Amino acid sequence: MPASFLRQWLPVLAWAGVIFAFSSIPSLGTELGTWDLLLRKVAHLAEYAVLGALLLRTVGIPVVALTISMLYAVSDEVHQTFVTGRHGSPVDIVIDTAGLVIGLAAWHALSSRRTLA
């Protein structure tokens, strides 16, 4: 396997593994009530913003990065239905997708800045 392939895809696969690992934890509740819910949703946004940016860095085509990332978000929610104390949620897919769009936009903005400099 060429080193450039690994350099491009290893961060994506590693981050997908991090998301999978968090989704495998039976209960992430902190007993903080509304703050717990808010923190978990912000975590979804952040996790998927990073995934979106990494995928755009790797594939270079926003619609492809978004599609792959959204498919992963759906698979993650399905995965959670098999974890005790967790459930899959269409709302989380929407939140994940919002995070993806943020990540894609951030990567695009950073990339554009570098090419202008």
Q: How far apart are CA 45 and CA 89, in angstroms?
A: 14
Q: Where are the chain's structural domains?
A: 3-116
> For residue 3, is pLDDT > 80?
no
> For residue 83, is pLDDT > 60?
yes
N-term to C-term CA, the chain: 33
- Residue 38 is given by DSSP the state H
Residue 108 near residue 62 (C-beta atoms within 8 A) = yes
Per-residue pLDDT of 20-64, as tens digits, reads: 999 998 876 667 778 878 888 899 999 999 999 999 999 999 999
Q: Which of 19-28, 32-41, 67-76, 89-98 has the lowest mean pLDDT?
A: 32-41
Computed on alpha carbons and rounded to an integer, the radius of gyration of the chain in Å comes to: 15
Residue 100: both structure tokens together: 């993806």
Identify which of 87, 88, 83, 99 has the alpha carbon closest to the alpha carbon of residue 44.
Answer: 99
pTM of the model: 0.88
